[in-house]
Copies of this chain bind each other. A is one copy, B any other.
Amino acid sequence: MEKITSVHNQRVKDWKKLQTRKQRTKTGTYLLDGWHLINEALNSQTAILSLIGTQEQFELHPDILTHELETYEVTKEIMADITDSVTPQGIAAVVAKPTDESEIPADLAGAWLLLDQIQDPGNIGTMIRTADAAGFVGVVAGHKTADIYAPKVVRSMQGSQFHLQLRQGNLFSWLEKFKQNGMPIYGTELNQDAQNFRELTPINNFALIMGNEGHGMQSDLLAQTTKNLYIPMDGQAESLNVAVSAGILMFQLKQNNH
């Protein structure tokens, strides 16, 4: 175990840079903050490239040192510097992003959530977490969606990246593959031809697209959908939060009865 006490140490600088999309893309890695996420990573066989903790945390949880990881003991000051958290737990890890994150699986099946130009990290993380709970197979973030490995997204998806397939890519290419596999693609846009989501029979293989918080889905993408769904609204509210809408639709489309 290497001990680092200076915030000017090159490793510390590199870890801190993982707060930027540029560095995450360049290195193919991102940072996990806190015990819950690190335990999820360990359980999922995800490669932990560096384990970073304070002396206090390693003393409280000595078991973590038995995993033979590349381990660094740092000061609380360094921990606060590298994490984006207001109250860092004193444990963090650098993990690898999935190497296949830009590939479309050849045997595409199951329920998939597609994110078109979603901007708010909390919304993105919450939708991934909800897709996991609804039993979705994967989530695809389109190129115009904010980075799914940004610290705020990682915090709000609460480890769901280890439970489903998380991909980034060109949504048009994905839609083509869904069509080739005979899977219906549901868009979400309130228009004259849209269908009340309650009229749909639950199914297992399909894609659901959620659009930007303010502007909705790209019209070119909308033109490629099998059907568009809407959630009938009572009251005078003009719209629903995108993560709430996604939750309502996902739990309607993919039902299970455990």
Which one of A196, A231, A233 has the greatest number of beta carbons of chain B within 10 Å?
A: A233
Give the distance in Å from the alpha carbon of A196 to the alpha carbon of B251 in the complex: 12
Chain B residues with CB under 8 A of A238: 158
Q: Is the CB of A160 within 8 A of B237?
A: yes
Shortest Cβ-Cβ A-B pairs, 3 listed: A135-B234, A133-B237, A244-B247
The 14 listed contacts between A and B (C-beta, < 8 Å) are A129-B240, A130-B237, A130-B244, A133-B234, A133-B235, A135-B235, A163-B235, A163-B237, A196-B257, A240-B247, A244-B247, A245-B247, A247-B248, A248-B251
Kindly state whether residue A48 has any CB partner on chain B within 8 Å: no
Chain B residues with CB under 8 A of A248: 247-248, 251
Interface residues, chain A, with chain B CB atoms under 8 Å away: 122, 126, 129-136, 156, 158, 160, 162-164, 196, 198, 231-241, 243-248, 251, 254-258
Partner of A243, one of B164, B241, B256: B241
Chain B residues with CB under 8 A of A247: 240-241, 244-245, 247-248
Chain B residues with CB under 8 A of A129: 237, 240-241
Total identical chains: 2
Chain B proximity of A202: nearest CB distance (Å): 10
With both beta carbons as reference points, the residue of chain B lying nearest to A36 in the complex is identified as: B238
Chain B proximity of A151: nearest CB distance (Å): 17
Chain B proximity of A111: nearest CB distance (Å): 9
Give the distance in Å from the alpha carbon of A245 to the alpha carbon of B248 in the complex: 9
Chain B proximity of A29: nearest CB distance (Å): 23
Chain B proximity of A35: nearest CB distance (Å): 14
Q: Is the CB of B126 within 8 A of A244?
A: yes
Chain B proximity of A89: nearest CB distance (Å): 15
Chain B proximity of A249: nearest CB distance (Å): 10
Q: Is the CB of B257 within 8 A of A132?
A: no
Which one of A162, A231, A235, A257 has the greatest number of beta carbons of chain B within 10 Å?
A: A235
Give the distance in Å from the alpha carbon of A156 to the alpha carbon of B251 in the complex: 23
Chain B residues with CB under 8 A of A136: 235
Give the distance in Å from the alpha carbon of A231 to the alpha carbon of B130 in the complex: 11
Which one of A156, A234, A243 has the greatest number of beta carbons of chain B within 10 Å?
A: A234
Give the distance in Å from the alpha carbon of A247 to the alpha carbon of B160 in the complex: 20
Q: Is the CB of B235 within 8 A of A164?
A: yes
Chain B residues with CB under 8 A of A246: 244
